[in-house]
Amino acid sequence: MKKSLLSAILTVSCIFTMSCGNNGTTATDSGSTSGELAGSLSYEYVIHYTDGTESGVVRYDDLSTMLLGLDRGDIDYIPLSKSVAEYIANTQGDGKYVVETADPLENYSLGVGEAHVDLLPACNDAIIAMQEDGTLSSLQDEYITKIIEGGQPEAVTFETVDGRDTLKVGVTGDLPPMDYVSEDGTPMGFNTAILAELGKRLDMNIELVTINSGSRAAALVSGKVDMIFWVLSMDFSNAQNPVRLETIDYIMFNGSKLSPTDTVATDSIFAVPEGVYISEYYFSDNEAILRKK
């Protein structure tokens, strides 16, 4: 579970990727168009495969609008984590969506700004401990797997203790059931469960702040939040094809600066804005493609 904290030196507008890429097999087709959240890093670079084909990208402000675009035929598919795609297909699609699993493994981490980078060692220790004692597995089963199968997300009560420092954490609601916010604006499910447990282990009070996915880095820089609930990195170690990256600037890959035409075959890609730091990952899932039948 240990990993390096690699980062891309990109502008703050190049936020965090929601999901990106394909496995070069059945997930995407030449000339097809994908939907992505506006402001996500996947807009600043496009993942190509060795056949040289390129998929177009359409920006959306939120997941709901992007699903409408898919329903209208404005886009051909949406790359998401497998659990999110299955949740949408099972609960919102009325049987009209199909989910295709792709090769890359998506890892989700907490993100902090420079002002709170000193929290990372304690966060990492807590995440590793939750992995080792079975807490993460239990929370994933209760608040992700069972919800996909038809359960209802529930809000977890946060422990508040006088005299503790308060950690403001940004959640988005754009990755249900992992990052879920109800229609009335209440965060519920896995995000509340894992953050409540993290607060106990860090001996801190947790305050949730609902933010737009595309403004996560800006929320950190402005001080609106101290931490964001999810930052995504992609692991291509099992991908069938190498990946060529085209960027507006460059990214760091295994400590090396890549040019827009460089090709990499395996390992993880971490792409986060300068000044944002990520924790150990607390959740992993295969990438998937959501399409209409």
94/116 same-domain check: no
- How many domains in the chain? 2
pLDDT digits (tens, 9 = 90+) for 76-118: 999 888 999 999 999 887 889 999 987 677 888 898 888 898 9
Please list the residues that pair with 111 across neighbouring strands: 228, 278
**Closest alpha carbon to 195 in 161, 164, 165, 230:** 230
Q: Looking at 185, 209, 231, which one is the last position of a domain?
A: 231
pLDDT digits (tens, 9 = 90+) for 18-32: 443 333 333 445 458
Q: Is pLDDT at 38 greater than 80 in this prediction? A: no
Domain that holds residue 161: 110-231
**Cα separation of 100 and 207, whole Å?**
36
**Cα separation of 192 and 184, whole Å?**
15
Q: Is pLDDT at 261 greater than 90 in this prediction? A: no
Please list the residues that pair with 188 across neighbouring strands: 180
55/151 same-domain check: no
**Cα separation of 289 and 106, whole Å?**
13
Please list the residues that pair with 168 across neighbouring strands: 207
Q: Looking at 193, 208, 231, which one is the last position of a domain?
A: 231
The model's pTM is: 0.77
Average pLDDT, the chain: 75
pLDDT digits (tens, 9 = 90+) for 127-167: 999 999 999 999 999 999 999 998 888 889 899 999 999 99
**Closest alpha carbon to 208 in 171, 254, 257:** 171
| Alpha-helix runs per DSSP H in the chain | 63-72, 82-91, 120-132, 135-140, 146-148, 190-202, 216-222
**Cα separation of 36 and 80, whole Å?**
9
